[in-house]
Structure 1
Amino acid sequence: MSNDGLGSWSPWNASWEDIGAENETDLLTPQDGFDHELSPYRIADILIPIFILLISIFGIIGNGTVIWFLGFCMKRNPFTTFILHLAVADLGALMSLSSLSIMSILNLFPYLLWHIYLVPVFGYLLLFMYNTGQYLLTAISMDRCVSVVFPFWHRCHRPPHFSSLLCATIWIISFPLHVIGMIYSLFGDIMNPLFYLLLMNAILCLPLMTVSTLILFIKVYFRSQQMKKEKALTVILLVIFFLFLAFPYTCILLISFFTPLIDYNVESVGFLCSCLNSSINPLIYFLIGRNKRAQSRESMKVILQRLFKEEENCREEQEIPVQSQM
């Protein structure tokens, strides 16, 4: 296993020995030009980072738009607070992925080696944002599950600032854990805390998301309120895409702790899937929130207001009967 404690991180973070070897053999040199024969693996080394960079650009624009409207143009409610923090985590992950993709492309030019000092920084930043987004998505799925299983408690006895406090707690706890893991990795500790964080994702976050989403789907499927179905469908799709796109990245990293010789193209596919997951969330909001019968083209602000602002109105309408009974 590589000394960074995160698996090989191929092809994003070649070690000093690997970079030296590549400069002598594999990489393009100013005198030699391209290899006479490009193998499929070599082509994948070039195309996958380019795909990740292009997808990340669209994802950064989409998540940035969501952050702008939910953070500055709309009145926040418990649900939008979760979505806002999730968009911040996705934006951070995409910025890290795009930076690592650019560095991977720069590896083709051996006389540009300044970026190797930044690879571990963006690598750990990516893992921090990825894991934090996973914790937030777990909290979102459980919160929506409680809202349909125990609607009275969720409406009347839920602390008013619970969403903000929970999101802040996730960020505050996640950051020092990843910093500790990074410090352990610098000293060459193979089984550092980052391994246990990834393991916790597999044995804790994955079951919680799966069970809560399954309960949410079963309960909401028989409900007649369209507003509730739209909110639940948003969470269900977020979790489904995460399970199919982003969670394989966790599995690949866990395997790389014990198998340092894992095919780096497999790791590249894990990065690509994680990039797709972080980029697709704004598209989910757009598809669910848009008015299918609208004749004119709606702006993203109108779509987000329809999808998320109704949550607040629904809560207010449901609180009126409770107050009248008192």
Structure 2
Amino acid sequence: AIFLGICVLGLVGNIIVFWNLCFRIPRNKYTVYIANLSIADTLMIVVVMMTLMVQIFKFFGLQPGFQVTCSFYVFVDTCYYSMVYVGKNILTAIRVERCISILFPLWHPTARPKKFSTIACAVLWLLGIVEGLLDVFVCDPRAYIKQQLACAAIEVTIFVSAVGICLPLMVISSATLLFKIGRTFRQQYPPKLYMVIIIAVIVFVVSVLPLNIPRFILFYRPTEPEPPDKLIFISQYWLVFNSTVNPYIYFLVGRKWNQTICCSLRDSLHRAFVVDTDSDHCLERQEDRSHVEAN
């Protein structure tokens, strides 16, 4: 019941964020990423809620003779893992592009294609769906238990993608961003951006590691080749928790720290993303002044 309640909160929050970003807030390069991330989080939460409802029906016997086909579980697993990988890819892209825009404020706006965010999201969706399909159909439970070579290759690829590529990119880009902003602006920069970066890194690490590392380790343990149910549940719990808290993080960091009057979600989202966009222009002006002084 608690897990289902968390899913409902996440579903409502992500739908509200998606609606505001698409129809009520001016579009920029970051809103495109966040809107796509909200879609992936929403679909993942819906799939988890479907699974929970099936378990409730079976546990309480609300409908005698209730049976679920194998195709349903294949569909659920494919959607679930695909959305997890899509979210992972988009989160990494957001942090990397944010870091590049700060490190190269003069080059980035001119070299970046106008529709780059849309194209990047399409590619990231494709990669995430391919990862999910390979994970479900190539590394199915039978292949996982038998530790087949194709399944081992998929497990290694997914593990390296998450822990060896996305995680270091997230941490390095965020650390670089913090250093650059702290050195450039010092007291001028609003502290909430620091919180956004720190929270994003923590949530990403907490979400990625519980799913990938234990599963990868257990795959190479012949005494226990199949992940225990508790591990699967904990991994799903953390991933759903990540998808649930994301929209509320946007709302909280968009508010002013000393604000006592309630503001709308639209205003909070607008303020958060306008601050991010304005900071790029501030860095461009700062870089211009540095070049002028150097010359």
TM-score category of the 2 structures, normalised to the smaller one: 0.7 to 0.9
CA distance in 1, matches of 2:251, 2:68: 40
Residue of 201, 205, 214 corresponding to 2:175: 214
**2:86 aligned with 1:121, yes or no?**
no
Counterpart residue number, 1:149: 103
The CA deviation string for residues 232-256 of structure 1, in whole angstroms up to 9 with x for no partner, is 5424322211202343112233244
Q: Which residues of structure 2 form unaligned runs of 5+?
A: none
The CA RMSD over aligned residues, in Å, is 2.7
Counterpart residue number, 1:267: 232
Counterpart residue number, 2:242: 277
Do the aligned partners of residues 66 and 214 (structure 1) sit closer, same or farther apart at CA in structure 2, a change above 3 Å counting?
same
TM-score by length of 1: 0.74
Q: How does 1:1-326 map to 2 (within 5 A)?
A: 50-108=1-59, 109=61, 111-114=65-68, 117-185=71-139, 189=143, 190=148, 191-192=150-151, 194-195=154-155, 196-222=157-183, 223-224=185-186, 225-226=188-189, 230-231=192-193, 233-258=195-220, 259-315=224-280
The CA deviation string for residues 176-221 of structure 1, in whole angstroms up to 9 with x for no partner, is 3433443435695443364222442122111211211222222223
Q: Which amino acid aligns with 1:238?
A: A
3-state SS of 1:112 partner: coil
Q: Which amino acid aligns with 1:217?
A: L
Q: Which residues of structure 1 form unaligned runs of 5+?
A: 1-49
Do the aligned partners of residues 150 and 318 (structure 1) sit closer, same or farther apart at CA in structure 2, a change above 3 Å counting?
closer
Do the aligned partners of residues 239 and 130 (structure 1) sit closer, same or farther apart at CA in structure 2, a change above 3 Å counting?
same
**Percent of residue pairs identical:** 26
Deviation at 1:145, TM superposition (A): 1.3
Do the aligned partners of residues 152 and 113 (structure 1) sit closer, same or farther apart at CA in structure 2, a change above 3 Å counting?
same
3-state SS of 1:297 partner: coil
- Contact between 1:137 and 1:239, CA under 8 Å: does it hold in 2? no
Q: Which amino acid aligns with 1:236?
A: I
The CA deviation string for residues 112-157 of structure 1, in whole angstroms up to 9 with x for no partner, is 2236542221122110000111011111111111122222222333
Deviation at 1:160, TM superposition (A): 2.2
CA distance in 1, matches of 2:246, 2:209: 15
3-state SS of 1:114 partner: coil
3-state SS of 1:107 partner: helix
Q: Which amino acid aligns with 2:245?
A: I
Do the aligned partners of residues 187 and 239 (structure 1) sit closer, same or farther apart at CA in structure 2, a change above 3 Å counting?
closer
Q: Which amino acid aligns with 1:286?
A: F
| Bigger helix fraction | 2
Do the aligned partners of residues 76 and 68 (structure 1) sit closer, same or farther apart at CA in structure 2, a change above 3 Å counting?
same
- Contact between 1:62 and 1:279, CA under 8 Å: does it hold in 2? yes
Do the aligned partners of residues 255 and 100 (structure 1) sit closer, same or farther apart at CA in structure 2, a change above 3 Å counting?
farther
Do the aligned partners of residues 274 and 176 (structure 1) sit closer, same or farther apart at CA in structure 2, a change above 3 Å counting?
closer
The CA deviation string for residues 61-99 of structure 1, in whole angstroms up to 9 with x for no partner, is 111111000011111101111111111111122112222
Deviation at 1:317, TM superposition (A): 6.7
3-state SS of 1:56 partner: helix
Do the aligned partners of residues 94 and 121 (structure 1) sit closer, same or farther apart at CA in structure 2, a change above 3 Å counting?
same
Do the aligned partners of residues 136 and 201 (structure 1) sit closer, same or farther apart at CA in structure 2, a change above 3 Å counting?
same
Do the aligned partners of residues 251 and 103 (structure 1) sit closer, same or farther apart at CA in structure 2, a change above 3 Å counting?
farther
CA distance in 2, matches of 1:75, 1:295: 26
